[in-house]
Amino acid sequence: MGTAYSKCYDPTGAHYGIPTYPWKFAPDGYATRRQLRERGLRPGGQPIAAQLMRTSRRRKAGVSVAFLYRVDLARPVRPMTSRKWGALALAMLARRTCPICRITYSYCLPTSLGMCLICANTDPSESLRSA
């Protein structure tokens, strides 16, 4: 292994506290949350079993980390109930509805504005002059 990989290789967990492997070198039987979800599984309350690590110039800490869970302890994903589907539909409707003009759009409104583009671009002083 090269020096970049050797900094991220700690299978005993002596340096980082949990077993650490270089990116893409995880042993069989471990998976990230996304990999578990692709298989229809979830961690199910189990603790983090290991981690993947790679050096990164983009991160403030200098490394990127992905946590690994044991596949044999993972549980199946809970199915969505009708109430959960309904709550999700209402939440998405709220994200698409402007709180000022009450118009529902076919896309989610930007959270940075908190309103639709038409309401954001309308100057409030113009409405005071016309009144």
- Into how many domains does the chain fold? 2
Residues 69, 102, single domain; the answer is no
Pick the last residue of a domain from 76, 97, 116: 76
DSSP 18-47: S-EEETT-PPTTEE-HHHHHHTTEE-TTPP
Cα–Cα dist 72/40, whole Å: 13
Residues 71, 102, single domain; the answer is no
Residues 40, 62, single domain; the answer is yes
> Range of 117's domain?
82-130
Tens-level pLDDT at each residue, the chain (131 residues) = 555 666 778 888 888 889 999 988 889 999 999 999 999 999 999 999 999 988 777 777 778 889 999 999 999 999 999 999 999 999 999 999 999 999 999 999 999 999 999 999 886 655 544 54
Residues 62, 120, single domain; the answer is no
Residues 37, 51, single domain; the answer is yes
Residues 71, 89, single domain; the answer is no
